[in-house]
Amino acid sequence: MVFRGNTSFGSNVLFSGDVLFSGDVLFSSDVECSADVVFSDDVVFSGDVNIGGYVAFIGNVIFSSDTVFSGDMVFSSDLVFRGITVFSGDVVFRGDMVFRGD
């Protein structure tokens, strides 16, 4: 699945295939991804997030609720985590980070 423009999701979202977002993305509810995801612009998650595949974040990212990552990740820009955050895969951080939560 490919999203080329700015994208907003207002309800719960489940992705079971690979996803590429090339514009800004706003998720205002829970998100679950079971495959690879690439975010090439800014992303805001305001609900719970569970991502089980490889993830690459190239733009700024804000997680404002609980987050679980069970796959490998690359973060190449600034991050803000405001809820409980769990990492169980390999993680590479290349930008500034702020953790506000447990």
pLDDT at 101: 59
pLDDT at 56: 82
pLDDT at 23: 82
Q: Contact, 71 vs 86, CB < 8 A?
A: no
pLDDT at 96: 76
pLDDT at 68: 80
User: How does residue 5 score in pLDDT terms, banded at 50, 70 and 90?
Assistant: confident
Q: Per residue in 19-59, pLDDT tens?
A: 888 888 888 888 887 878 888 888 888 888 888 788 888 88
Of 50, 54, 83, 82, the closest CA to residue 69 belongs to: 50
pLDDT at 100: 66
Of 50, 34, 56, 62, the closest CA to residue 87 belongs to: 50
pLDDT at 79: 80
Q: Per residue in 51-92, pLDDT tens?
A: 878 888 888 888 888 888 877 877 877 788 877 888 777 877
Domain assignments of the chain as residue spans, ordered by start: 2-9+16-99
